[in-house]
Structure 1
């Protein structure tokens, strides 16, 4: 699975995700760090990446466009430190691989995970 880490998450997320078998890019090394979310969204859509973010704007773009992709993993935890959250994120990605590849929003917080299938209606 190909994942694109948004600017609001540390580039240090690349290592544990790569070590877990994911093809990982961080936007900082891929595009203009000041690019609008719409540019990141379009890059992910065209190149079949799932966006991992701490930013609600990507879910809003999916709602506005009615797009079927890219999938978005929205981390809603207050603690987004890699040590605290990487295991949960990796487990969520592995357990939900098919639904992510088909197009979905996964919202992960400290206690639960919610899935919305794309396109949003």
Structure 2
């Protein structure tokens, strides 16, 4: 799977995901530390990457745009501050969430669960 790690996550998270065989890049590696969230969403969608962040603005932007891609993994867990913990939770559950991520979803990871909301978050129906 391909990941774009936002600037508010450790660059080590990208390294750990790469070590597990995934294509993961941190915004700092692309010199996009100060990029707007909309720019990161566009890049992730163009490259087929899943955005990994702690920034709730991504969900709001996806809703506003009625977008069906890219998927976002949003960490809202207080007890998973380290990159090792975040990589472990992604990797431990990837088989269960891969289809959701490929189809387009926002996954919110809290201390006790993973909540999945399929994209688009707002539909015209």
TM-score, normalised relative to structure 1: 0.93
Deviates more, 1:84-93 or 1:31-40: 84-93
Count of matched residue pairs = 121
- Name 2:39's counterpart in structure 1: 39
Task: Select between 45-54 and 23-32 the one with higher mean Cα deviation.
Answer: 23-32
Output the CA distance in 1 between the equivalents of 2:73 and 2:84.
Answer: 18
Q: Which runs of 5+ in 2 are unaligned?
A: none
CA distance 1:52–1:61, change in 2 (3 Å): same
| Pairing 1:70-109 to 2, within 5 Å after superposition | 70-78=70-78, 79-109=80-110
Distance 1:84 1:32 in 2: 24
2:113 alignment counterpart: 112
Q: Unmatched 5+ residue regions in structure 1?
A: none
**Cα RMSD over matched residues?**
1.2
